[in-house]
Amino acid sequence: MNTKYYKTWEQYRAEHPEIDEKQAKVMAPKMQGYEEMMFSFIMFLLM
């Protein structure tokens, strides 16, 4: 998606090289989950 308001986990990770592999594994589903929840909420507001 061409936007600065939604990031995939991979995009987020690229911007935060300090996150190590072990952390990344547990962070990824949670961080992506909240990103998806906000996307769904924003779209719901216009439907």
Residues forming contacts to another protein in the complex (CB under 8 A) are: 1-6, 37-47
The nearest distance, CB 8 to another protein, in angstroms, is 11
Our CB check for another protein shows the closer of 5 and 26 to be 5
Closest CA to 33 of 43, 41, 21, 22: 41
The nearest distance, CB 22 to another protein, in angstroms, is 26
CA gap 29, 15 in Å, rounded? 17
The nearest distance, CB 39 to another protein, in angstroms, is 7
In sequence order, what are the residues at sequence separation of 6 or more whose Cβ sits closer than 8 angstroms to the Cβ of residue 32? 8, 9
